[in-house]
C-alpha cells in the first residue's frame, strides 16, 4: 500500500475506484475493493499519524488536543439557527483512520428492531439479518480473562466475532472495579435496570461494563487503539499494491460527464492552492463522513438548487435532502465529590482515559415511570406538528418524508421500547462523574456549504435540543443521574452530592437551561445524506447511489437515516462492508 502526500500519485491519473476520505468507511471500502485486484485511490484531507502516541496508545487519548503535531481533529464551528457560533466546537477525525483515530472506542451493537426499521423506511435489504453478520465479520473479540471477569467484564459470544480485523476487548487491568460495583448497584436501585452480561446482547435497555476497540500489547505494555487504519490499512499482512492513499489533500468536488455519470474527483492540498483531477474508471465513492460528504455534493452541483444558486454553483441535480436530517446526541455530565479518605483509591478513581466503564441505556418506562403512558400518547399525537416544524426549520424536505421518519422513530421509542437515554458511569480525580445524553433525539439540524471556496469549512447547524421531547429526556436523565449519588451504594464514598450542576431544588426550567448551556455533541453524527426514498427527502438509494447520478455512491455514516441506540462504529463498519459488496456486485 502506498501512503503519500505527493499529489503526483493521483493528479491526472486513472484508478478503477476513487474514494473521498480515508476514515472508517473509506478504509473499509477501499481495502475490500483493492483486495479484489482493483486499483483504488483514497484521498484524505488529514495526515498519516500512525506513529503518534496520542493516536496509537488508547490511554493517551487525552493528549490529542494538547499536541499541535497530532492535528487529527477538524474542530468544526457549529452555529445556532441565527448563525451565532455555538459555545462548543465539533470534534471530527481528520487523519488517516478518520474519527476512528480519535474516538472514544466504545463498542456495542445496535438492536435488531432499529436495524429492521431502516429497511421499513423503504430500504430493502438493510435489516438486522443482513447487517449483523458484517458486524461479526469485522470484530476480533478477545474474551475477558478470569481476572477481568472478576472485575466486571462479561461476554455473550453469540453477539461477537472472533476472526475479524478490529480488536475488541476489556482493558488490562479493568477500570475502577470498586466504582463499577457501586454504580451497578445504584443503577439497579434507581432505574430498575439489572446489570447484564454484555451491552451487545440486548433487545432494548441494558446496563453493563463497556468493551472498547482496544487490545493489550504485551510487548510494548500499552493498550493499543484498534482504529480502522491500524486494523485494516497499516498491518504488514494487509498491504496491497493496488491501494494508494493520498494524504493532506482535500476533495473539492465530484466531476460528472454530460449524462451525470461521475468520472472523477477534483482535489488539492488541504492548505489550499492548485486543484487537480483524478479519474475513476468505474465509480466515485464518498466516505468523507456526515459533516463533509454533503458539502462535497453541494460543491459538485448536487443539492438544493436555491442554496447552490446562492453560492454561484450550477445545479446538476436538484436534490434538496443533501445536508438535511443531520443528527447527533447532545451530551453533558455532572459530578459528585468523593470523600477525602477515598480520593486516591484507584479501585474507585484511576484517572485512566478509556471513557465510560459502565454504560446504561434507559427506555421510556425506566426514565419516566408513571408519566410514560401520557408521554407516549403525546409523542404519537405530535408527529405531524413535529414534522411540520422540522420542515419549517430547513431540517427536513417535506411533510410526508418527515412524518414517515418521525413515525418510525416514535414507534421504536413507544412500541419497541428502544432506549431513549444513555448514561456513562465515570470517575475523575476526586469525583464520580456521570455523562449522559438523549439517545434517539427528535431534533433535526442541517449542514451546508458556507462558501464556494472548496477549502472553507461548512456551516453546521445541529439544532440540539430544539425539540421539546429531547429537552424532557435530557432533564430527566440528568436528574436521575444526580439521584444515583444519593443512594445507599454511594453513601460510603461520597462527601457532597453535586459539585457542578444546578441547585438541589432547581426547577425543570433551570435544569434545562443548565443542560443547554453545557451540552456538547456525543460525536455520533449521521443522517445528512440519508438512505431514504427520493420523494421522502433521501439522498441515496438502497444501493447507496446518489439519486439523479450514476457511478457515485455514499458509504459513510451520513447514510444512516436516524440515530441508533449504540455508538456508531459497529453500524458504520457494517454499512461500509455491505457498500463494498454492492460495488463489487455491480461489476
Ligand atoms: C470524538 C469522537 C468520539 C467518538 N466515540 C465513539 C465511540 O466511542 N464509539 C463509536 O462507536 N463511535 C464513536 N464515534 C463515532 C465514529 O467514530 C464515527 O461514527 C465513524 O468514524 C464515522 O465513520 P465515517 O467513515 O463516516 O467518517 P470518519 O471516520 O470521520 O472519516 C471521514 C474522513 O474523511 C476525511 N475528510 C473529510 N472531508 C474531506 C475532504 N473534503 N476530502 C478528503 N477527505 C476528507 C476526514 O478527515 C476523515 O478522515 C466518535 C467520533 C468522534 C469524533
Taking the centre of ligand 1 as the mean of its atom positions, its distance from the CA of residue 571, in whole angstroms, is 13
Tell me the C-alpha distance between 137 and 480, whole Å.
37
Residue 179's Cβ-count burial label (10 Å; 0-12, 13-18, 19+) is buried
For a mutational test of ligand 1's pocket, the pick from 21, 31, 529, i.e. the residue with the most ligand atoms closer than 8 A to its C-beta, is 21
**Longest pairwise C-alpha distance within the chain:** 74
Instruction: State the cell numbers at 518.
Output: 453545557
Tell me the C-alpha distance between 452 and 436, whole Å.
37
Residue 343, pLDDT score: 87
Give the position, in ligand 1's atom list, of the atom nearest the Cα of 251: 42
Tell me the C-alpha distance between 272 and 453, whole Å.
9
Give the position, in ligand 1's atom list, of the atom nearest the Cα of 91: 53
Tell me the C-alpha distance between 90 and 64, whole Å.
14
> Residues 242-292: pLDDT tens digits?
999 999 999 999 999 999 999 999 999 999 999 999 999 999 999 999 999
List for the chain the helix, strand, coil content (%; round to 5): 35, 25, 45
Residue 495, pLDDT score: 81
Residues forming a β-bridge with 7: none
Taking the centre of ligand 1 as the mean of its atom positions, its distance from the CA of residue 199, in whole angstroms, is 22
Taking the centre of ligand 1 as the mean of its atom positions, its distance from the CA of residue 338, in whole angstroms, is 35
The fold of the 2-49+93-142+228-326+526-586 domain, in CATH, is FAD/NAD(P)-binding domain (3.50.50)
- Residues at the annotated binding site for FAD? 103-106, 251
Residue 449, pLDDT score: 98
Tell me the C-alpha distance between 244 and 481, whole Å.
48
Report yes or no: 291 and 525 within 8 Å, Cβ to Cβ: yes
Give the position, in ligand 1's atom list, of the atom nearest the Cα of 94: 47
Residues classed as catalytic: 524, 567
- Residues at the annotated binding site? 103-106, 251
Residues forming a β-bridge with 303: 318
Q: Are strands 139-141 and 166-168 parallel, antiparallel or unpaired?
A: parallel
Ligand 1 surroundings by CB, under 6 angstroms: 20-26, 43-46, 91-94, 98-100, 102-106, 250-251, 287-289, 292, 296, 523-524, 556-557, 567-569, 572
For a mutational test of ligand 1's pocket, the pick from 289, 435, 439, i.e. the residue with the most ligand atoms closer than 8 A to its C-beta, is 289
Residues forming a β-bridge with 318: 303
Residue 143, pLDDT score: 98
Q: Does the reported pTM lie above 0.80?
A: yes
Q: Which segments of the chain have a pLDDT < 50?
A: none
Taking the centre of ligand 1 as the mean of its atom positions, its distance from the CA of residue 371, in whole angstroms, is 37
Domain boundaries along the sequence of the chain: 2-49+93-142+228-326+526-586
Tell me the C-alpha distance between 337 and 334, whole Å.
10
Give φ, ψ of 192 to 5 degrees.
70, 25
Residue 503, pLDDT score: 87
Residue 44, pLDDT score: 98
Tell me the C-alpha distance between 339 and 347, whole Å.
14
For a mutational test of ligand 1's pocket, the pick from 199, 278, 569, i.e. the residue with the most ligand atoms closer than 8 A to its C-beta, is 569
Report which secondary-structure segment, H or E, holds 146.
Answer: helix 146-150
Taking the centre of ligand 1 as the mean of its atom positions, its distance from the CA of residue 39, in whole angstroms, is 24
> Residues 53-81: pLDDT tens digits?
999 999 999 889 878 888 999 999 999 99
Amino acid at each position: 500500500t502506498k501512503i503519500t502526500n505527493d499529489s503526483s500519485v493521483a493528479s491526472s491519473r486513472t484508478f478503477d475506484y476513487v474514494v473521498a476520505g480515508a476514515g472508517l468507511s473509506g478504509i473499509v471500502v477501499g481495502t475490500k475493493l483493492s483486495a479484489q485486484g482493483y486499483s483504488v485511490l483514497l484521498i484524505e484531507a488529514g495526515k498519516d499519524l500512525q506513529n503518534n502516541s496520542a493516536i496509537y496508545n488508547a490511554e493517551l487519548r487525552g493528549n490529542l488536543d494538547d499536541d499541535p503535531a497530532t492535528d487529527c481533529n477538524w474542530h468544526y464551528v457549529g452555529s445556532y439557527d441565527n448563525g451565532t457560533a455555538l459555545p462548543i466546537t465539533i470534534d471530527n477525525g481528520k487523519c488517516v483512520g478518520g474519527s476512528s483515530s480519535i474516538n472514544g472506542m466504545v463498542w456495542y451493537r445496535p438492536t435488531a428492531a432499529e436495524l429492521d426499521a431502516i429497511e421499513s423506511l423503504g430500504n430493502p435489504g438493510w435489516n438486522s439479518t443482513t447487517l449483523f453478520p458484517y458486524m461479526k465479520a469485522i470484530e476480533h473479540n478477545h474474551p475477558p480473562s478470569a481476572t477481568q471477569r472478576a472485575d466486571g467484564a462479561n461476554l455473550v459470544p453469540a453477539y461477537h466475532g472472533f476472526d475479524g480485523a478490529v480488536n475488541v476487548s476489556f482493558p488490562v487491568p479493568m477500570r475502577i472495579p470498586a466504582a463499577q460495583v457501586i454504580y451497578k448497584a445504584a443503577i439497579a436501585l434507581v432505574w430498575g435496570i439489572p446489570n447484564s452480561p454484555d451491552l451487545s446482547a440486548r433487545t432494548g435497555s441494558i446496563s453493563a461494563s463497556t468493551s472498547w476497540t482496544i487490545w493489550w500489547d504485551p510487548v510494548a505494555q500499552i493498550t493499543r487503539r484498534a482504529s480502522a487504519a491500524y486494523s485494516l490499512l497499516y498491518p504488514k499482512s494487509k498491504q496491497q499494491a493496488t491501494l494508494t492513499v493520498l494524504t493532506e489533500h482535500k476533495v473539492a468536488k465530484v466531476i460528472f460527464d454530460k449524462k451525470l455519470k461521475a468520472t472523477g474527483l477534483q482535489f488539492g492540498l488541504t492548505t489550499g492552492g492548485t486543484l487537480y483531477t483524478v479519474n475513476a474508471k468505474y465509480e466515485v465513492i464518498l466516505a468523507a463522513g456526515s459533516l463533509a460528504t454533503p458539502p462535497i455534493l453541494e460543491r459538485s452541483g448536487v443539492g438544493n438548487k436555491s442554496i447552490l444558486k446562492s453560492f454561484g454553483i450550477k445545479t446538476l441535480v436538484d436534490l434538496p435532502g443533501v445536508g438535511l436530517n443531520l443528527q447527533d446526541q447532545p451530551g453533558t455530565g455532572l459530578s459528585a465529590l468523593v470523600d477525602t479518605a477515598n480520593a486516591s483509591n484507584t479501585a474507585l478513581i484511576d484517572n485512566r482515559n478509556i471513557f465510560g466503564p459502565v454504560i446504561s441505556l434507559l427506555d421510556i418506562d425506566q426514565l419516566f415511570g408513571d408519566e410514560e403512558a401520557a408521554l407516549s400518547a403525546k409523542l404519537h399525537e405530535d408527529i405531524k406538528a413535529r414534522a411540520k416544524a422540522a420542515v419549517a426549520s430547513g431540517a427536513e424536505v417535506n411533510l410526508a418524508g418527515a412524518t414517515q421518519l418521525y413515525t418510525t422513530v416514535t414507534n421504536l421509542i413507544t412500541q419497541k421500547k428502544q432506549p431513549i437515554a444513555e448514561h456513562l458511569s465515570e470517575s475523575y480525580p476526586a469525583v464520580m462523574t456521570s455523562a449522559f445524553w438523549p439517545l434517539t433525539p427528535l431534533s433535526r439540524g442541517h449542514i451546508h456549504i458556507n462558501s464556494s471556496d472548496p477549502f472553507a469549512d461548512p456551516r453546521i447547524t445541529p439544532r440540539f435540543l430544539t425539540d421539546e421531547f429531547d429537552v424532557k429526556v435530557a432533564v430527566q436523565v440528568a436528574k436521575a443521574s444526580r439521584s444515583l449519588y444519593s443512594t445507599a451504594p454511594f453513601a460510603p464514598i461520597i462527601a457532597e452530592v453535586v459539585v457542578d450542576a444546578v441547585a438541589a431544588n432547581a426547577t425543570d426550567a433551570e435544569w434545562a437551561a443548565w443542560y443547554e448551556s453545557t451540552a456538547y455533541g456525543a460525536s455520533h453524527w449521521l443522517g445528512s445524506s440519508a438512505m431514504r426514498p427520493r420523494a421522502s427527502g433521501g439522498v441515496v438509494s438502497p444501493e447507496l447511489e446518489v439519486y439523479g447520478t450514476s457511478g457515485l455512491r455514499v458509504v459513510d455514516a451520513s447514510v444512516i437515516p436516524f440515530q441508533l441506540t449504540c455508538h456508531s462504529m459497529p453500524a458504520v463498519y457494517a454499512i461500509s462492508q455491505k457498500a463494498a459488496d454492492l460495488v463489487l456486485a455491480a461489476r
